[in-house]
Homo-oligomer: A and B are copies of this chain.
Amino acid sequence: MKRIRIKDLKDFCRAALVKEGLKEEYAQIVADVLTETDAYGTHSHGTKNLHNYIRKYRAGGIDINAEPEVVTEGLSFAVIDAKKALGMIPSVKAMEIACEKAKKTGIAVVTVRNSCHFGAAGYYANIAAKKGMIGIAMSNVDPNMTAPGARGMLIGNNPFAYAAPSKSVPTVFLDIAMSNVASLKVIQARKDGKEIPPTWIVDKDGLPTTDPSRYPEEGAMQPFAAHKGYGLAVMVDILTGILAGGATSMGGDIVSWVFQLDKPNNVCHTFMAIEPTLFYNEKPVADRVEEMCVSLRNAPKAKGSDRIYTPGEIEWEKYIVAEEEGINLPADVMDSLMGLSEESGLELKLI
């Protein structure tokens, strides 16, 4: 693996987007979101996708000149029309508005419609948590998951994240999708010619299968815990697509952002922020979260286990390494960035 300093990767991403025609301020937002996501180790949602976002700009699926706009707002809510912008741009703004409003009223929610892939949901939840608040972020996505009793791709595996301030780690945070595993794991097993557990996907008949060789042409991902993952995916569609007055993952209006580059992705996102000091101020929330984490980490270990992780701990440990030694770039991320570097003539300053 090659390594790169966080600042150098941000500079590269910003420059590539500015060169493409995106204004400096927005290019910096996108560069920050993607690079920080790589820094804490979620490489599937980081800078690896930058080249495809740029291809989507060129193909017309994203509007490089879009100016997302607050179209409705009140004391504790707002609706943003992203106007086909790349998702990070309205999403950072949305979470910042949610935080500002929540500081006055206790809680606020901001929804975004007509948007495109926003990267990792956890990044936005962490914006709130780094301000000492509790953050929640979610998005609907193109249908890629089945439902109990169904066959085919019916509903998005709609990601959901939360974050809260802590002490020994910057935040406690979780970023999950409603499928048992990410589809990339299925595709990797297919490449490796390996069987998969029967809980990952269904085949063309809607039945569980251990054979990944026909996915994703046939079959669909399985929701985790059957009706639980399915029901939570429906919740995310209600809180994003329906609340924002935008598209839902079942309506046929949301397409894959990457496989249909010339079409708007059309997803909706929702961001919530809560100001805990208004509720209870006898002890800082970060102290109380830390106490909870300490009791989790110190609990008796399972046979063969030497550690219990609290949510987000693995990511923040990777982040510290990335800050000190640079981000370790896996081969697929490296390939994508090198391709963009060659195409744009911008240098990727590896360590």
Chain A interfacial positions (CB closer than 8 Å to B): 72, 74-77, 79, 102, 104-109, 111, 134, 146-152, 154-155, 162, 164, 172, 174, 176, 180, 202, 205-207, 224-225, 227-232, 234-235, 237-239, 242-245, 248, 250-251, 272, 274, 276, 278-280, 282, 285, 288-289, 291-292, 295-296, 299-305, 307-311
State the main secondary structure of chain A at its contact with B: mixed
Residues on B with C-beta less than 8 A from A146 are 302
Nearest CB in chain B: distance from A136 CB, A: 8
Residues on B with C-beta less than 8 A from A311 are 227, 230-231, 234
Chain B residue at smallest Cβ distance from A223: B225
Give the number of copies in the complex.
2
A300 engages B243 (CB within 8 Å): no
Given the known inter-chain contacts A76-B76, A242-B285, A245-B282, please indicate yes or no for A310 contacting B150, CB distance below 8 A.
no
B134 engages A105 (CB within 8 Å): no
Residues on B with C-beta less than 8 A from A295 are 250-251
Some 5 contacts from A to B, beta carbons below 8 A apart, are A76-B107, A77-B105, A105-B105, A149-B309, A227-B309
Residues on B with C-beta less than 8 A from A300 are 150-152, 206
A150 engages B299 (CB within 8 Å): yes
Given contacts A109-B274, A227-B311, A251-B292, could you give 19 more A-B pairs where the C-beta distance is less than 8 Å? A72-B278, A74-B106, A76-B76, A77-B274, A77-B279, A148-B308, A149-B302, A149-B309, A150-B300, A151-B301, A152-B299, A176-B225, A207-B303, A224-B224, A238-B289, A238-B292, A242-B280, A242-B288, A245-B282
